[in-house]
Structure 1
């Protein structure tokens, strides 16, 4: 499994536009076979930083999603929303993997 961590610098005055962008991508990532873990918006502290996390079963399936999203009309509309509203100033993308081999607690009952 591969998890993608996105850190966004957003325009705080365009938070509603960014929220709409996020709502669209949660549905799109899930439609393309990923698992979206959500968008995390400013609350306390920095008012212009947001995060998103989503996972795909493998790097190969993520790469297929990236290629397919370039020709998907709904993805193109989401890209256009961000471009036209300028709600995103910049973003950083990181690829993470889960720590394997961690013992899970047992539930007795």
Structure 2
């Protein structure tokens, strides 16, 4: 499994537009076979930072999603919403893997 962590710098005056952008992507990622864990919007503290997390079974599935979303009309409409409104100033993407907690065997000596 691979989890994608997105950190967004958003325009706080365009939060409603960013919320709409997020709603669209939750549905789209799920439609493309991923699991969206949600968008996390500013509450206390920084007013211009938001996060999103979503997972795919593996990097190959994520790459299929990226390729297919590049030509999908609904995905392009979501990208256009962000471009048109300027709700996203910039973003950072990280790829994470979950810790396997099922392993019960103690590590041997190094």
Q: What TM-score range do you get, normalising by the shorter chain?
A: over 0.9
Partners in 1 of 2:101 and 2:4 — Cα distance? 21
Aligned-residue CA RMSD (Å):
1.2
Q: How does 1:1-109 map to 2 (within 5 A)?
A: 1-102=1-102
SS at the partner of 1:53? strand
State the shift of 1:103 in Å. 6.7
Task: Provide, for residues 35-57 of structure 1, a one-character-per-residue CA deviation record: whole Å limited to 9, x for no partner.
Answer: 00000000000000000000000
**2-side partners of 1:103 and 1:63: how far apart?**
28
C-alpha displacement of 1:102: 4.8
- Structure 1 regions of 5+ residues with no counterpart? 105-109
TM-score, length of structure 1 as denominator length: 0.93
Displaced runs of 4+ in structure 1, greater than 2 A? 101-104
Q: Which runs of 5+ in 2 are unaligned?
A: 105-110
C-alpha separation in 1, matches of 2:4 and 2:76: 20
